[in-house]
Amino acid sequence: MPGEARQSCYASYMPSAAPAPLYLTLADKIEALIRASAFRGGERIPSVRTMGRQQSVSIATVLQAYRILEDRHLIESRPKSGYFVQLRPADAQPTDLYQRRRIQSRSLAKFPPLMSLVHDVVDPGFIPLGGAHPSAALLPTRKLASLMASIARLHPQDPVTCDPAPGCARLRTELSRRSLDWGCHLTPDDFLITNGATEALFLALSAVTRHGDTVMVESPTHYGILNALSQLHLNAVAIPSSPPQGMDLDAAAKVLAREKIAAIVVVPNFNNPLGGRLPDSARQRLATLAAMKDVPLIEDDVYGDLYFEGTRPSCLKSLDRTGNILLCGSFSKTLAPGYRVGYLAAGRHHDRIIPLKTALNYGNPPLPALTIAEFLRTGGYEHHLAKLRRTFHTQIQQTRAALLEVLPDKTRVSQPQGGFFLWLQLPASVDAMQLFHDARRSQLNIAPGHLFSPDAEFNNHLRISCTHPWTDRIAHGIKHLGKLVAQQMRGTFSKK
């Protein structure tokens, strides 16, 4: 055809297409990896320098490629942290975590502690996806054992001497030094050593409440907090909380204006089970609200050292100007769960708590506290924490990816900023309590969502723990969980 010949002839004289700029080629390559889920929503991509080294290109080229990816809404920059893949719908955080309802005080007299969950956690026959303590395989057990043996050998009188409240002076000194990292300036005399954070919380509540009082809590929150309120015959008013914003402070302010609240209990750093961090502006507002109403603010900071990005977040206690904030913490989530070493900095309530502690159990075993004090003094703790944070972050990403592979498309899985939990929102038809029993028959340990709310909400939610190293056994457990969910949704599971 003449036209075809003419087109072919002209084509030989047309300039060849210019190659795409290097930064655009790099951006396309990274986009392909993101869309193939090599990088999942919320994950950090390599730093500018690392990417430049990996691809043998300049920093300027990588920066330009990352700007292109930002314009495509594929990644986002976080100050002092790096670049992260933006959350897609499938990766979205569970945001509709609570039903719209009137927020009101409720009795916890019938709160179910579900002791079978507690016992299953320490049963080696169960696949461990429901517990709240790190695996011993991740802890410096040999180093701690060596320190403990050395202390017992060199100072044999110390381990057998009574250690009445406020407890181990050496550990309180180390805590005082560490408090600078929390944004606080606490002295050794500000601390009381406790048998874990649970006792610290129990003592704090006992000091500031009376039988029948109402305590404000987040929802969802750790079931151990709700169990403590139940045992002390206290009522709870649950304020909705979400991963990015934390406690709904507008709702909290309305409740404080209309009801008498005896205390507020919050987990501002990597809330269990959400794993979120209360924003700085919200922290100041919460501290101000509590101070204005003269309501004691009890802070549970057991996960504060387990941040994934940036630096260690400050405690609410750093905003305390009147001694109104009671800070609870422990080493059970980071170092030695079995040592049961915790602490309480109770501000103006300190003198009231000392006799309460003495009446409860007089004091603590000296040897665990002395061992941890020596571990802190020699600098071993910081090295251990750096490794532990990386490990938990990796395990969370592995577990999260595996869950998204086997659970229904409408499942939402949290993207924690720290800690070691994932919070799952399953399709509305799934009964998490039934799922718990189904899984238990298969030697699989999970935590049903209703345990994390005084209002028995979250019936289609689960908390999954990422505290054990990734193994084929863990992977099998997650696959089996997916099968149990699918069977329940089809209504084919045979109840025995």
Residue range 376-426, pLDDT digits in tens: 999 889 999 999 999 999 999 999 999 999 999 889 999 999 999 999 999
Contact by Cβ (8 Å): 477, 446:
no
Q: Where are the alpha helices (DSSP H) in 238-379?
A: 249-258, 280-293, 350-361, 366-377
Q: What are the pLDDT digits (tens) for 174-193?
A: 999 999 999 999 999 999 99
- Residue written as tokens 């050794």? 188
Mean pLDDT of 52-57: 87
Say if residue 86's pLDDT is above 90: no
What's the confidence (pLDDT) of residue 273?
94
What pLDDT shows up at residue 341? 97
pTM of the model: 0.80
Which of the 8 DSSP states describes residue 44?
A: B
Q: Cα separation of 336 and 134, whole Å?
A: 9
Q: What angle do CA 227, 233, 237 make, to 5 degrees?
A: 70
Cα separation of 190 and 184, whole Å?
11
Residue 120, pLDDT score: 78
CA-wise closest residue to 291 among 240, 234, 348, 343:
348
Classify residue 361 as exposed, middle or buried by CB count within 10 Å of its CB (0-12, 13-18, 19+): exposed
Q: Supply the mean pLDDT for the chain.
A: 87
Tens of pLDDT along 210-232? 999 999 999 999 989 999 999 99
User: Mean of the pLDDT values across residues 269-282?
Assistant: 92
Cα–Cα dist 269/362, whole Å? 30
Give the torsion sign (CA, 376, 145, 199, 395).
Answer: positive
- The tokens of 113 are what? 């502690």
Could you report how far apart the first and last alpha carbons of the chain are, in Å? 78
Taking 70 as the threshold, does the pLDDT of residue 31 lie above it? yes
Pick the CATH number of 106-113+139-380 from 1.10.645.10, 3.40.50.720, 3.40.50.300, 3.40.640.10: 3.40.640.10
Sequence-distant (6+) residues with CB within 8 A of 231 are 202
Q: Can you give the pLDDT at residue 457?
A: 84
**Would you say domain 20-90 falls under CATH 3.40.50.300?**
no
Contacts of 15 (CB under 8 A, 6+ apart): none
What's the pLDDT band for 109 if we cut at 50, 70, 90?
A: low
Answer whether residue 166 shows pLDDT above 80: yes
What are the residue ranges spanned by the domains of the chain?
20-90, 106-113+139-380, 382-490
Identify the band that residue 494 occupies on the pLDDT scale cut at 50, 70 and 90. Answer: very low
Quickly state the pLDDT bin for 88 (edges 50, 70, 90). low
Percentage of residues of the chain with pLDDT beyond 70:
88
Q: Which fold has domain 382-490?
A: Aspartate Aminotransferase, domain 1 (3.90.1150)
Give the integer Cα–Cα distance in Å for 323 and 209: 16
Residue 486 is predicted with a pLDDT of: 94
